[in-house]
A and B are shown apart, each in its own frame.
Chain A
């Protein structure tokens, strides 16, 4: 349910940065552990973009898998859930990636 609000904020940020120019494509990075559902953002995007400079823009969402480094044994591993422990049993982890929500790039139409 919160993806609607997040998508509204994404559209507002991109609109502001586009400064009146039409947006052709937006690329987002969404971490698998961020709690943001990429499908739900995609579902909301077309509706939220209506009537803005993003209307009709292509949405490209890149998923980032969860990675962590164990603070006890130093091993790096994939995290599939927020509380995946290290193989050594430790839960003291440094999260390396997977919690992102980034507006990575935007493509604008050339100024007339």
Chain B
């Protein structure tokens, strides 16, 4: 399974991944593709947390594209039953529009941002399957209204799920891990159906989709 993690810069994507790797490395094999305009800093952080990572620098580019991910995956060589986390460039505009072959987009919105972000960047929140509202340990210090943020996300995407978490303290991460496991099972059963040599139709179907 592959997930595309998107957010504005500084929302906590890399911290969330570090924490997820530390908490889940025995339960889920995780591989990470790190997208940034420049530096290998995040790739180093992910490897220090204990997961294989490949850094993709986009140079002047503001988002990852599928061919960059394909090259990164060749280097990363994830195992068949693993979860590949693609950490996109911090940007709520362009990454919404580029399909990287992921099963789902996860949008991370931190409480130090405005709770109206889903309305300001509707393409991104409409493309997301899950919204993680991060840094909730800071809620006592900021004016962020969680209920309003969830309402705004649902306004642009009535099917979206939202969870509140703190990657720093670990609060709420159990729900995120449960979501990961559920989605991985669903992705695995679809892949299994495609690879089943007894069902020729399913293979053709998979090839087209």
Contacts and interface: CB of A to CB of B under 8 A. Distances in A.
A8 to B, nearest CB: 10
Interface string A1-30: 110010000000000000000000000000
Interface residues of A, number: 12
Contacts of B154: 91
Contact of B155 (A1, A35, A36, A83): A83
SS of A interface (majority): loop
A5 B67 CA distance: 12
B94 interface: yes
A2 B154 CA distance: 26
B142 interface: no
A82 B62 CA distance: 22
Contacts of B97: 2, 34-36
Contacts of B98: 2
Contacts of B156: 82-83
B56 to A, nearest CB: 15
A107 to B, nearest CB: 27
B123 A92 contact: no
Interface string B114-143: 000001001100100000000000000000
Residue of A1, A82, A83 ringed by the most chain B CB atoms within 10 A = A83
Contacts of B61: 5
A81 B156 CA distance: 10
A105 B89 CA distance: 33
Contacts of A92: 158
A35 B63 contact: no
Contacts of B155: 83, 85, 91
Contacts of A91: 154-155, 158
Interface of B: 61-63, 65, 93-94, 96-98, 119, 122-123, 126, 154-156, 158
Interface of A: 1-2, 5, 34-36, 81-83, 85, 91-92
13 contacts: A1-B62, A2-B94, A2-B97, A2-B98, A36-B97, A81-B122, A82-B123, A82-B156, A83-B122, A83-B126, A83-B155, A85-B155, A92-B158
